[in-house]
């Protein structure tokens, strides 16, 4: 079974630039999560989708971050404009439902200079 795919794996940008990350969950998984993991910290949930609807985005900095999952499958997470403190690994995870085990992707490492 193919796992959660993410791209790009690495991204380096300058502050105030925009960046987008892509996630393809495991086929058939209705729930998709985006996490931010800053160096030395645990993952922090940014947003959770159930199919194409948002279940929770209470920790998403909405002034600069946005995410969508238009067809209930792939998802994109965008940062515009980026700040130095956005440097982190962005993890995508998926699960069959909200009560099921989450399967994580390899992450995208973002460096903001």
**Residues lying near other proteins in the complex (CB under 8 A):** 3-4, 33, 40-45, 48, 55-56, 58-59, 91, 93, 98, 101-107
Please state the φ and ψ torsions of residue 93, each to the nearest 5 degrees.
-140, 155
Pairwise CA distance, residues 18 & 51, whole Å: 26
Q: How far is the CB of 113 from other proteins (least distance, A)?
A: 25
C-beta closer to other proteins: residue 55 or 113: 55
Pairwise CA distance, residues 90 & 86, whole Å: 10
Q: How far is the CB of 20 from other proteins (least distance, A)?
A: 21
């Amino acid at each position: 079974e193919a796992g959660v795919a993410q791209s790009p794996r690495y991204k380096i940008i300058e502050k105030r630039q925009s960046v987008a990350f892509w996630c393809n969950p495991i086929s058939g998984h209705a729930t998709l999560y985006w996490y931010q993991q800053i160096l030395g910290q645990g993952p922090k949930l940014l947003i959770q989708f159930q199919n194409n609807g948002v279940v929770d985005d209470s920790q998403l900095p909405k002034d600069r971050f946005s995410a969508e999952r238009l067809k209930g499958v792939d998802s994109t997470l965008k940062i515009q404009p980026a700040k130095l403190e956005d440097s982190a690994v962005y993890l995508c995870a998926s699960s069959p439902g909200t009560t099921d085990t989450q399967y994580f992707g390899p992450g995208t490492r973002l460096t903001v200079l």
